[in-house]
Amino acid sequence: MLNLIDRALREDIGDGDLTTAAVVPEGSRARARIEQKAAGVAAGLGVAGAVFERVDPELDWRAHAREGEWREGGLLAEVEGRAASILTAERVALNFLGRLSGVATATARYAKAVEGTGARVLDTRKTTPGLRALEKEAVRLGGGVSHRSGLFDAILVKENHAELAGGVGEAARRALAAAPAGVTVEVECATLDEVSDALEAGVTRLLLDNMSIDELRGAVELAGGRAELEASGGITLDTIRAVAETGVDYISVGALTHSAPALDVSLLLDPLE
């Protein structure tokens, strides 16, 4: 995480904070309040605190909220120390905090929409480059479940893989034969015929891509408990409940990370004697 923070700070500060150097009297001290200005889930407080510490280890950071807590707004944290250090770290810290809280908040809304159905909300690999681990942790804090971390920790046979292998059934058999011990094999299916082919090959987890509600119900019936089922493709807050009620086990939502709006947070500073 520190490498990521360092890159973000270099991007913002460059050769120095020209405004702060020009305007803020040397030796000035301040206390700053970080406020949550909209309802949502707090996430990224640890990262934000680490940003301030990276800029100035003598800054005193105090969080006033718990990670993963839904709040209507109010005080998230305070930071006290050199005023110049607080101002230099401010934007990078708030960018992490707002972004990650936004992902957690979006996830919480989707998770709330499927309560009582047994379905779990999954993230995807549609993450901000370099921020995947942090965004996936924000999904978890919002009540979602993390899918595979990347291409290295699970096998997911997609449409293009199947096309090159000669079909879903053949791709599934190859994937199962080549999978290292303990590695999950999941196969994407766009039709009920492909569901049958994947089940016949012995796959125990299927991704049901862009299927209608009726097709999802048909896939659940075909699987008959032999495989975990994940619905995916264009699912929104307005449609996710109906998808969950078909009986699928998981619902993956790319919007959790690729379209979540940042939660509105701000920093207000008070000078100290």
Check 29, 31, 126, 132 and give the catalytic one: 126
Check 53, 80, 209, 230 and give the catalytic one: 209
* Burial (CB count within 10 angstroms: exposed 0-12, middle 13-18, buried 19+), residue 153: exposed
Residue 209 bears catalytic tag? yes
Check 158, 193, 214, 221 and give the catalytic one: 158
Residue type, 47: V
Residue 158 bears catalytic tag? yes
* Burial (CB count within 10 angstroms: exposed 0-12, middle 13-18, buried 19+), residue 184: middle
Q: Which of 98, 23, 12 is nearest to 55 (CA)?
A: 12
Query: What is d(CA 57, CA 222) in angstroms, rounded to the nearest whole number?
Result: 59
Residue 37 bears catalytic tag? no
Q: What is the DSSP letter of 249?
A: S
Check 29, 31, 33, 91 and give the catalytic one: 91
Residue type, 70: W
Structure tokens at 24: 């803020």
Check 123, 188, 194, 249 and give the catalytic one: 188
Structure tokens at 40: 């949502």
Question: What Å distances lie between residue 62 and 53, 59, 80, 175, 251, CA to CA?
Answer: 12, 10, 9, 49, 37
Residue 66 bears catalytic tag? no
Active site members: 91, 126, 158, 188, 209
